[in-house]
């Protein structure tokens, strides 16, 4: 099955690679430092037989960081793949740094256009504008419902900032948030009490 990876590209500079092995709840076994947490997941999961499309989500700004940081992703994953041999292609989607309704709709449409039917989907929401993960959740939901896709993993890399120092990397699989959003959207209840009870019963599973 084809794998499609969405990754938000940061606008900032001086990105620091971190080792995420054994941290958070993602159970990554990859012991090398990465700038993009999704690459630690891909290092554990991709094989030579895989056909992978990476969609890099960039936000336009007045610096050269966009190109530099997308190149960092490409070089990082290519280095990991050099020992695996999967077929990887890269697409770049640039969008304006405007959180308007029109721009959200444009981002959503552009992302959906990059998804092939019957694909496995992965996403990294560590970086990028705050509203972008919300748009991405809509994209994943559309793909699962109408394109027969399988949402495999949504990851978030957490670190602590103390001045210029970055420490305590933790890698979290937050795919459950995607399914929780789908659950609350599709729930049917006769009243608020019944809805709260249904939610509590789901959490108790």
**pLDDT tens sequence across 46-91:** 999 999 999 999 988 756 788 899 999 999 999 999 999 999 999 9
| Beta strands 165-173 and 150-162, pairing class | antiparallel
Helix axes 65-81, 37-45, angle to 10 degrees: 20
User: What pLDDT sits at residue 14?
Assistant: 83
Task: Please give the average per-residue pLDDT across 189-201, as a whole number.
Answer: 85
What pLDDT, in 10s, does the model give residues 96-148?
A: 888 889 999 999 999 999 999 999 999 999 998 889 999 999 999 999 999 99
Residue 155 pLDDT exceeds 80: yes
3-state secondary structure 1-59: CCEEEEEECCCCCCCCCECCCCCCCCCCCCCCCECCHHHHHHHHHCCCCCEEEEEEEEE
**The whole model's pTM is what?**
0.91
d(CA 9, CA 61): 12
Torsions phi, psi of 38, nearest 5?
A: -60, -30
User: What pLDDT sits at residue 174?
Assistant: 94
> Nearest-CA neighbor of 181 among 145, 205, 128, 130?
145
d(CA 54, CA 75): 12
User: What pLDDT sits at residue 62?
Assistant: 58
User: What pLDDT sits at residue 203?
Assistant: 81
Tokens of 84: 């695996």
Please, are residues 67 and 56 in contact by the beta-carbon 8 Å criterion? no
User: What pLDDT sits at residue 128?
Assistant: 86
What pLDDT, in 10s, does the model give residues 2-45?
A: 999 999 999 888 889 999 999 999 989 999 999 999 999 999 99
39-58: burial string, b at 16+ Cβ within 10 Å, e else: bbbbbeebeeebebbbbbbb
Reported as a pLDDT band with limits 50, 70 and 90, residue 194 is confident
């Amino acid at each position: 099955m084809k794998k499609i990876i969405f990754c938000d590209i940061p606008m900032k500079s001086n990105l620091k690679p971190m080792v995420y092995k054994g941290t958070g709840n993602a159970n990554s076994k990859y012991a090398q430092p990465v700038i993009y947490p999704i690459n630690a997941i891909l290092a554990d999961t991709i094989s030579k037989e895989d056909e992978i499309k990476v969609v890099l989500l960039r936000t336009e700004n007045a610096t050269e960081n966009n190109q530099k940081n997308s190149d960092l992703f490409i070089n990082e994953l290519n280095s990991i793949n050099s020992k695996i041999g999967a077929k990887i292609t890269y697409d770049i989607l640039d969008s304006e740094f405007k959180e308007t309704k029109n721009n959200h709709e444009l981002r959503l449409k552009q992302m959906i256009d990059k998804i092939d039917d019957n694909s496995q989907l992965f996403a990294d929401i560590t970086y990028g504008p705050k509203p972008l993960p919300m748009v991405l959740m809509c994209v994943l939901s559309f793909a699962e419902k109408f394109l027969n896709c399988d949402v495999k993993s949504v990851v978030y890399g957490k670190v602590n900032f103390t001045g210029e120092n970055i420490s305590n990397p933790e890698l979290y699989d937050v795919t459950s948030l995607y399914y929780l959003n789908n659950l609350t959207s599709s729930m049917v209840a006769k009243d608020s009490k019944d809805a709260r009870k249904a939610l509590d019963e789901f959490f108790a599973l």
